[in-house]
Structure 1
Amino acid sequence: MFKKLLKYSLFQNGYNLTETSKENEIKEFLKELKPYGTEHSLLRLGCPGDGGYLVPNDLEGIEFCFSPGVSTQSSFETDLAKMGIKSYLADYSVEAPSIQSDSFFFEKKFIGAVNNEKFMTLKRWMDKSLQADYSRDLILQMDIESSEYGVLFETSEETLKKFRILVIEFHELNRIFDTFDLSFLKLCFRKILKDFYIIHIHPNNWSRYAKKGDIIIPEVMEFTFLRKDRVQKLEQAQSFPHALDCQNRVDKPDIVLPKCWYN
């Protein structure tokens, strides 16, 4: 009773106390997020540090990448261009990509869950960029500082399935220890996992990690997904880091994916 009265009193004064997630609930959810190996080997695209990602060697037939979040370098998109894949880039915080290329098409907008002067949904961006009858597979590479959740909730499963490969940096994953945020994360990841497999996870060592018992949650992690219809052979990945993984921040030790994510 005292706890309920305390929560109500704090709420009335503009504060909120949330429940802590149960450890067994978190562990059950982490079982859903296990990465898999497939018949497709992994390639590293982009620079050795921050901005490079591992993707499956299943790029044939892909013509375009959509890449929200430009920042100060575009090494991932540059490597795609060498393979004949052009990139649509979007970021309201910069005037243009740091590299000028005939393979880049830039939009000064944030990609988010609404359409206005600063923001544009992924669906609106795609409709604006591609012909109405475009049917070839695409790549999504998204690093937009926690706005990924709003984008994923707003984007329909039908639109997500237009991408063969998703490379998404997820932020604030330590919120998994909050029962409300755990429910939110479950909805987000399960939406993706309906049609995609996780094929790689790499913690970003710019961030810290949260720990409770034997559960270790890096705050920021890079996930690579491959659409299920592209997979014929599936086995659980058991060895981390991958030989092609690199530290995002070179002056700090890398964060190795904790075993609770795959063992």
Structure 2
Amino acid sequence: MKIPFGLHRRIPRVRRVLEMLASATTERDALREDLKAALRHIEVIQADLAGQKSVAAPRYPYVVAIPDQALGAVALRMLSLLRPMDVVGKKLIRKGRPNDGGYLMIDSGLDGVVAYSLGINDDVSWDLDMAALGCQIYQYDHTIDALPKKHPNFHWYRTGIAAQPSADGVLQPLGDLIARNGHAGRRDLILKMDIEGYEWEVFDSMEPSTLAQFSQISMEMHTLALAPHDLQAKIASVLEKLYASHQPVHVHANNHGYFGIIGGVPIPDTLEVTYVRRTDHQFTDCKRIFPTEQDMPCRKDVPDFFLGALGALPAPTVTEPAGTSVSKAVHGNS
């Protein structure tokens, strides 16, 4: 077939267009493959990040740093008010389950007494150990419908502990409950408290005479690192109140929560602390390194928080309330 001259002149141009189209198609297909590979790589990265989050978020506690020197100064005072000492002639024993829920207490005045257990949730291991010593256990928790286990020595009430009674009667001051149970004036009571931050208002409003009824107090303290200025001031005030009548003898950080660097001062957000009444004992300087061999991490999958030689902290300067002798109780027996 004879190709018209005008069309013949266009053949090279059409050929070049076709070649360009073929090249563009090849490049497009290559780009598509590159895009698919990139998307597959992104999916792998996203899956890897999702896997890391699923492991890291619950596995490791958070560290919070607040560069506030005023908060740091109060945090340092709080630690000095929590400075542990050893009890002369007594040893520490564990009551409650391993890890979270157990407390170290001194082996004195635990048999056959009355114990108050504030905050139960799903754990009565401490209560069972105390009941095994013949103690009557008065338990208060308004957030549960029933105890996880029962014991003849348990007396559970669906009542919460607060500074003031609530209108519906669900919340009650601890001093009122002690009086209602016929324990007013007794000085052999034991207290275990874990009420998720409400301890500060409870102790702040508690009469010193009620506080003095407890020969030992094992408790969990919350919001030590994350407290704003106003709450931190209240916490320090409550610690001074406790320090006036009771001496810290053991401290352990709960590694479920935050660890704070507050104004340069390292302090856990949650601490387990055991106090004993000053007038019952003599004390000597504590040279233990915390955590001690008797301690167990609250979370088994995370290392315990290292607190070091807390007993080496300087003793706090306190104004002694009338009728007390904090300096003699602490320093005279060192």
Give the TM-score category using the shorter length.
Answer: 0.7 to 0.9
Distance 1:221 1:131 in 2: 29
Where do 1:170-209 residues align within 5 Å? 170-175=221-226, 178-209=228-259
8 Å contact kept, 2:259–2:269 = yes
Label 1:185 to 1:262 Cα distance change in 2 as closer, same or farther (>3 A): farther
1:151-166 to 2 correspondences below 5 Å: 151-166=202-217
Deviation at 1:150, TM superposition (A): 1.1
Conserved? CA contact 2:112–2:136, under 8 Å: no
Match in the other structure for 1:67: 117
Deviation at 1:23, TM superposition (A): 3.7
Aligned to 2:85: 36
Following TM superposition, by how much is the alpha carbon of 1:183 offset from its aligned partner in structure 2, in angstroms? 1.9
State whether residues 141 and 159 of structure 2, in contact with CA within 8 Å, keep that contact through their aligned partners in structure 1: yes
Change in CA separation of 1:32 and 1:136 when aligned onto 2, cut-off 3 Å: closer
CA change 1:213–1:184 in 2 (3 A) is closer
Letter in 1 for 2:209: E
SS in 1 for 2:76: helix
Counterpart CA distance in 2 for 1:153 and 1:66 is 18
Q: CA deviation at 1:27?
A: 2.7
Are positions 1:84 and 2:110 aligned together? no
Q: Distance in 1 between matches of 2:77 and 2:197?
A: 24
Out of 172, 178, 190, which is 1:126 matched to? 178
Conservation of the 8 A alpha-carbon contact between 1:112 and 1:147 = yes
Q: CA RMSD in A?
A: 2.0
Q: Give 2:278's match in structure 1, choosing from 222, 228, 233.
A: 228
Deviation at 1:22, TM superposition (A): 5.3
Q: What is the TM-score of this pair, normalised by structure 1?
A: 0.85
The 2-side partners of 1:259 and 1:180 are apart by: 29
The answer on whether the counterparts of 2:83 and 2:310 sit within 8 Å (CA) in structure 1 is: no
List runs of 5+ in structure 1 lacking aligned partners.
Answer: 1-18
Structure 2 Cα separation of the partners of residues 182 and 103 of structure 1 = 38
**d(CA) in 1 for partners of 2:287 and 2:162?**
32
Q: Cα distance 1:49–1:26, how it changes in 2: closer, same or farther (>3 A)?
A: closer
Q: Distance in 2 between matches of 1:137 and 1:151?
A: 20
Q: C-alpha displacement at 1:136, in angstroms?
A: 4.1
Percent of matched pairs sharing the same residue: 26
User: Aligned partner of 2:249: which letter?
Assistant: I
Counterpart of 2:196, as a letter, is E
Q: TM-score, normalised by structure 2?
A: 0.68
Instruction: State yes or no: 1:137 paired with 2:208.
Output: no
Equivalent-residue separation in structure 2 for 1:45 and 1:170 (angstroms): 18
Alignment of 1:12-31 (within 5 A): 21=70, 23-31=72-80
Once residues 53 and 123 of structure 1 are traced to their aligned partners in structure 2, the CA distance between those partners, rounded to angstroms, is 23
Amino acid at match of 1:165: Q
Say which structure is richer in strand. 1
Larger CA deviation: 19-28 vs 105-114 = 19-28
Contact kept? 2:71, 2:263, Cα under 8 Å = no
- 1:159 is displaced (CA, Å) by 0.3
